[in-house]
Amino acid sequence: MSSFDRSLGATQRWRLDVAYDGNGLSGFAYQPETVTVVGLLRETLARTLRLAQEPDVVGAGRTDAGVHAFAQVVHVDLPTVFFENDRGPDVGRLLYSLNKQLAGRIRILKAQPVSDEFHARYSATWRAYRYLVLEDLPPALNVTSAWSWTTPGPIDVEAMNRCGTDILGTHDFRAFCRRPTNSLTSEPLLREVLDVHWQRVDDEWGITPTGSPALRLSIRAQSFCHTMVRSLVSTMVAIGQGTLSENTIKGRLESLERDHLPAPAPPGGLALIGVGYEEFAGGPSGFVR
């Protein structure tokens, strides 16, 4: 296929469901001087379709450097001329070509045409994350893996679930979020949390240092603010370890003060596992328990 300017003319909006390993990536959002999820997708799409310029890629939400995704969703508008043939778009061939070039750093799980009304971010009704904690009994290793956070035990899961109920519903999460640039300190950071639950999961593959079960947080909300999940994780783990009171989260949601709370948990334990959409938009991504 010869190269020509495909930046002009009619376009078709596509929804892409993608997964990625956050290690070695400087987060999700496009940054010209660093390697990011959006940057790699833009570059690979432009090269594969021989576009004159890189297309805009819009995601359901941003993830920080080191954070993973099993079910991120993006949309991109691509020239219809690429798909104009009697047989329709060869999606399988396109996915094969894109994934081969992305070489496992990002994997496009599914591609489907959608209406122009679909927006990866604004059409989403919820986002779901998972965080993995490895409970290390003495002697403590205090190490962090690329996919989990190893921290000293024992950890009281029941205590973490009790304080987790204080997160449910709509609250001002200023005490647990990094404020957006140029926003006022008096501006609320309201978020509605729909589900939150900790559970022990069997370590059938012997991943943990001691062979003990891992602790998994599942949390779902309409949206999250910056570092919200990781800040809640570190606070709940400290409660489970007995170094903070079970009333800590409730108190900070009321006071809005962050002083003397633990630093956010490491990014490696966090993964985006699902995004909710209505049927017109292709339904939810991922598998949320």
* SS3 at position 279: helix
Q: Which of 70, 69, 71, 289 is nearest to 201 (CA)?
A: 289
For the stretch 85-120, what's the b/e string if a residue is b when 16 or more beta carbons lie within 10 angstroms of its beta carbon? eeeebeeeebbeebbeebeebbbbbebebbeeebeb
- Helices of type H across 3-139: 37-49, 91-102
With CA atoms as reference, report the closest residue to 227 among 182, 261, 276, 197.
Answer: 261
- Cβ atoms of 11 and 80 closer than 8 Å: yes
Give me the residues paired with residue 152 across strands: 136
Catalytic residue selected from 17, 64, 136, 166: 64
Q: Which residues touch 61 (CB under 8 Å, ≥6 apart)?
A: 28, 72, 121, 124, 127, 223, 224, 272, 275
ω before 139 within 30° of 0 (cis)? yes
Q: Is 86 a catalytic residue?
A: no
- Nearest alpha carbon to residue 131 among 248, 264, 267: 267
| Token pair in block for residue 39 | 């940057």
CA of residue 215 relative to chain centroid, distance: 18
- DSSP state letter for 123: T
Ramachandran bin of 46, using left for φ above 0, alpha for ψ from -120 to 50, beta for the remaining angles? alpha
Contacts of 125 (CB under 8 A, 6+ apart): 222, 276, 277, 278
Active site residues: 64
